[in-house]
Structure 1
């Protein structure tokens, strides 16, 4: 196993150096890919679940002229190694802290989309991450009307093997997929080796951590976001003392891609305050 891990890391490092702008590093014994470009105040970007650093490509084009922008593929996503054990949000926050220290970043503003926002809330709230400001874009992490769905996902995952035991493997898999889709578990279906991590992540309500954020926070939401509904943004604005919610009409969960100019302008104005 150790040999193959080393081989995989070697291939990752070679591929990263061959890809334009892509770099690689070993952090906490995991090989990860990242991009570090531009000059100026540092923006540290965290992508969402099942996504990768390229989700910010269009936003980067608007920001890299004025800022140094650092973005990485979180462990288990994009070109980065997955952890060998299941992680919760706190483990991801610890990893981000270690990555920032690895790069020797002295001060920064953290920007998190969806799951990346979840990591930012947890990390900043418990004092692991110490940015100057935080930008949360369609951030996940609050217990809302999705709480029942999340509980059902965890229940299906726990009892599914027992309940479906009499059936053949292919029949069991089809039945399990139907059950997950019934409760809106597409992310879980596609989580692959990260299924246990996904269940741990969605099982935590980050409201207590959000209340402890004591730095300025900008909340950016799409009016038509169905993955992390606007209700989440309004609730976060109530929880985070020094926060401002900006809602962009007609946009959905990937508001930073749908309304890139507006999101970039909001971020720049927030940073200049």
Structure 2
């Protein structure tokens, strides 16, 4: 695949470039462009400051890769700002992505959920369009930062859909603030301390990503991103369903890759914290979702150790990247579980998703 690395011109090339003459017409165009950029910046700052009121239900200008009707923004949390994409109206649903992806992984699911919900897809701190914090990649800290974003957006009580590492962040959010989370849809990740370690022999990337710095940083450089991440996507059951280039670009920055590794490096501490707090069992219903050709029932086996109401679901025709490999099933299942107006499964395979 072609390289996705984007670099600035080298100093040598910059010094050797011929000067561009500045005519009166060109100066006028530059002045107009500068004014336009300033106006855009002022609008962006006012949107962030206004919080949820600035993005009531989306708009025509969707962020790149997202369908029309969604709007993006950033809100301040500890360690920097968090990027989100929002649309729809109704009860709030927060979507947390996994690795090696961003909030874009939910783009096929969001329109269906937005029919009856306010849908907010968040880039985890350090990833996607969110700022890179200086530490705090343990899942308790990450969960608290996500909660700060939720509160800044005025969402109140939420339901959470999460995939992969997003699951590991959603768990302490729900555990530590059970009155603020109505339901959980946890996709393709057992918890650290309760089954995640059993997967270390399934895929070597778990140990590789969690290796001390700078081991993965030195081994995977910018030119290797598409090779490494492409291998991960090839593990899926339907690899052709994943549009890879946006994710290659999202992890093209060494700083972004280090942030992603830090989430893995925190797994051991996450396991200690999860086991120490397992007696604080989740009171809300948990839909534990696994791909037919991936984790299957393992997600439910893990959550039964920390929650009282666990409903297992196995997604047909899907591997690990469930929201991209079978978005229709995820949309229908999650909508039903979260309280679709009809309230009854339309197909037999959706029966486990009933609220």
- Specify the alignment match of 1:180 in structure 2: none
Q: Secondary structure at the match of 1:101?
A: helix
2:250 corresponds in structure 1 to: none
| Deviation for aligned residue 1:28 | 2.3
Aligned to 1:44: 94
> Which residue is 1:198 aligned to?
264
CA distance in 2, matches of 1:112, 1:210: 20
- Counterpart of 2:106 in structure 1 is 56
Partner of 2:321: 254
Q: 1:151–1:22: structure 2 CA closer, same or farther, 3 Å change rule?
A: closer
Alignment of 1:228-267 (within 5 A): 229-230=295-296, 232-239=298-305, 240-267=307-334
8 Å Cα contact 1:46-1:113 kept in structure 2: yes
Q: For residues 24 and 73 of structure 1, what CA distance do their matches in structure 2 show?
A: 10
3-state SS of 2:93 partner? strand
Q: Does 1:68 align with 2:118?
A: yes
Matched ranges for 1:67-86 at <5 A: 67-86=117-136
User: Is the contact made by 1:150 and 1:202 (CA closer than 8 Å) also made in structure 2?
Assistant: no
What corresponds to 1:146 in structure 2? 199
Q: Distance in 2 between matches of 1:102 and 1:133?
A: 20
Aligned residues: 246
Residues 297 and 313 of structure 2 are in contact (CA less than 8 Å); yes or no, is this contact kept in structure 1? Answer: no
Q: Aligned ranges for residues 169-248 of structure 1 at < 5 Å? A: 173-174=218-219, 192-194=257-259, 195-201=261-267, 203-205=269-271, 206=274, 212-225=281-294, 229-230=295-296, 232-239=298-305, 240-248=307-315
In the alignment, is the contact (CA less than 8 A) between 2:136 and 2:142 conserved in 1? Answer: no
User: Whose radius of gyration is greater, 1 or 2?
Assistant: 2
1:22 maps to 2:72: yes
Structure 1 residues not aligned, in runs of 5+: 1-9, 162-171, 177-184
RMSD: 3.8
Measured in 1, the distance between the counterparts of 2:138 and 2:164 equals 15
Larger deviation: 210-219 or 124-133? 124-133
Q: TM-score, normalised by structure 2?
A: 0.59
CA contact (8 A) 1:218 1:245 kept: yes
Partners in 1 of 2:157 and 2:210 — Cα distance?
42
How many angstroms apart in 2 are the aligned matches of 1:219 and 1:131? 16
> What SS does the aligned partner of 2:107 have?
helix
Query: Which segment drifts farther, 208-217 or 118-127?
Result: 208-217
Residues 43 and 109 in structure 1, CA contact (< 8 A), matched pair in contact too: yes
C-alpha distance in 1 between matches for 2:107 and 2:334:
15
TM-score where L is the length of structure 1: 0.74
User: 2 CA distance for matches of 1:175 and 1:38?
Assistant: 39
8 A Cα contact 1:33 1:72, kept in partner: yes
